[in-house]
Structure 1
Amino acid sequence: MTALTLPIPVIETERLILRAPQLDDLKPMAAFFETERSHMVGGPRDAMGSYTSLVSRLGHWVLNGYGLWHIMEKTSGSFIGWTGMIFAPAWDEPELGWTLFEGAEGKGYAFEAATAARTYAAGHQNMNGVISYIAHANTRSMALAERLGARFEREAELMGKRCQLWRHPIVEATT
């Protein structure tokens, strides 16, 4: 049986590759979703929940023409997290989201990846001045949003949980 190839673009930055989710990503995803750290992004989840998340990411690209990229660190080749645009029925509008695994934090990878995803979305997916939903307790994501130039816009609710909605600035779209 041959796997379906989706037209998910690959983005390269100085230190990272943003690429399509792959089956080999399941084991590190499951390890992340088993931890309490995952509660900011819908976890914890069991192995089946992690598989469903992986499959949903690919389906998001098929249905919407955009979605989450998985982030690879170029030097090591390690899968270190994800970033990209998310839009589902509970969302007010498309959201720029990001998640890094614990060992990848504090190195500027989230800023580098989210900047690349946001610029690509503005230039190729007709999404600019996007939002990010951020949990009240997620001060690291708030700091990253500020570093990205986003500003707190209002209190919000997503999937039954109170959160903050941050608005990103209009960015120059490069092609």
Structure 2
Amino acid sequence: MVKEWYSIQEAADTLGISHTSISRYLHTYPDFFKVKSVGRKKMIFNEGLPLLQRIKELYASGIQTHEILDQLQGSIPVYHDTENSGEVVNDFPLAKVEPFLKSMETIISQQSDLSEQNALLAEQVIKSDKRAEQIHEQLLQSDKRNQELQGQLHDLTEKMDRLIKIQEAAATLEKQPWYKRILK
């Protein structure tokens, strides 16, 4: 008859792994083991024993903790202890959920980037609209000033023409003999 639950010490004796190593594995990879507390003892479900052996072999071959975690995520279902009832709940395998979560993170970050870009573009459009309006107002003022200057130039030209005519008339009067000027 196979036991369903093993204490950490029983698992250590069965597998030939030290008690502290098993405790460390349970602490480092808690999502991969069904664990329950009985008094002060932690009990490991029998499905976790081959996993403990595999983790020991991976460490022995020189694989780092994060690499072991990556390997475990792809092949082993994740377990979470429920706080209230002390029962164990088996969720979807992390290997199926994690790519979905990563793609969601990517989509959210892309949406965030796009909204930032949209905000910058909207700000630039507003600035360019203001600048275009300023240029339009400057052109209107410039046209108005040109019309005023043309009007002043026209008035000045007319005054010059009158002055020239007056000077010509005065010059012709001076050329007349003195008696014609008096008899007139």
Q: Where on the TM-score scale, by shorter chain, does this alignment land: which range?
A: under 0.3
Query: What TM-score do the two structures reach when normalised by structure 1?
Result: 0.24
Higher strand proportion (structure 1 or 2): 1
Higher alpha-carbon Rg: 2
Which structure exhibits the higher relative contact order, with contacts defined as CA atoms closer than 8 Å and separated by 6 or more residues?
1
Query: What TM-score do the two structures reach when normalised by structure 2?
Result: 0.24
Higher helix proportion (structure 1 or 2): 2
